[in-house]
Amino acid sequence: MPKSIPGASARHALALAGFALVALFAGTPHAQDYPTRPVKVIVPFSPGGAVDGPMRVIAQELSKRLGQQVVVENKPGAGATIGTELVARAAPDGYTLLLASQTNAISATLYAKLAYDPIDDFAPISLLGREPGVLVVNPALPVTTFQEFVAYVKERPGQVDYASSGNGSGQHLFAALLASMTGLKMSHIPYKGSGQATTDLLGGQVMVSIPGTAGMVGHIKAGKLRALAVTGARRSPQLPDVPTVMESGVPGYEAYVWMGLLAPKGTPAPIVDRLYRELMQVLATTEVKAYMATAGIEIVGSTPAEFGRFFRSEKDLWAKVVRETGAKID
């Protein structure tokens, strides 16, 4: 019987382990090689919305950092669930990302059945920024203050319409929460995106809405819309003369439009980390900082772990609001 060669078994085992590691990493995308083709960011809202514009500016700067084009593609509808499902089913390779917002956290509860898990089917990358909403009315509505607005609506229960960017959107729930906390009864008119909602608000087809501040500042300053209150804890630097809802007599009311990037579950950690690091550089650029300041958006730039915790807290917050207000999709 031949003698075994000392150490041969150990060397054989090491060789097998080495081959296994090579096989494992051969199919794993490396951060230093990524990306080798354009990256697509799905925005589950219509063009021109509160988070669409900022994402396009960020995408332009991110393209420079990655050396590949970052393409923004709008897939609106059904409380952001259409575009979100598309990303949930995408290959976890870093080439299809989702621009999430508070609407994603709201839809997690508002929709009884979803084809994806709003949290577990995604890998958080970063919370990019946030802004308060603003209660705006068409100037034809005969009110100039928040208090006058409340009195006007209370005298006409169910007769005043408010527009939102869709069932389950932030605009929908911001207004539902306000109605609940003030005892108002308004009629909800959901649109397929904030672009058309804004058009009809400007045209007087609907009289009230609570969109993000960024897209409304120009209309407000031009006198095309009247701002009555902002939804943040503090006044907006863009609208310093407009009080907060809390200041106006509704203690505890606070809501924000926010935006963050998610990747499909299973996206390799090195790619998530690469995207996070590049985004931090992008958010620090003069171009992005100037845009965000002009739009009244507060830059956040959280880590993936921080964004994951934030998303869960938002889901819990809006689940409570949905239960307490009885908000439903029409």
pLDDT confidence of residue 64: 97
The SS3 of residue 4 is coil
The pLDDT tens digits for 25-51 are 444 456 679 999 999 999 998 887 778
Nearest to 223, CA basis, from 147, 158, 140? 140
For residue 81, what is the enclosing H or E element? helix 81-88
Q: What is the mean pLDDT of residues 10-35?
A: 53
User: Strand locations in the chain, DSSP E?
Assistant: 39-43, 70-74, 96-101, 122-132, 134-137, 161-164, 187-190, 208-209, 226-230, 256-264, 298-299
Predicted confidence band of residue 11 (pLDDT cuts 50, 70, 90): very low
The pLDDT tens digits for 67-89 are 999 999 999 888 889 999 999 99
In terms of average pLDDT, the best of 109-113, 285-289, 319-323 is 285-289
| pTM summary value | 0.77
Tell me which of 66-70, 171-175, 223-227 is least confident.
171-175
Domains of the chain: 39-131+257-325 (3.40.190.150), 134-230 (3.40.190.10)
For residue 301, what is the enclosing H or E element? none
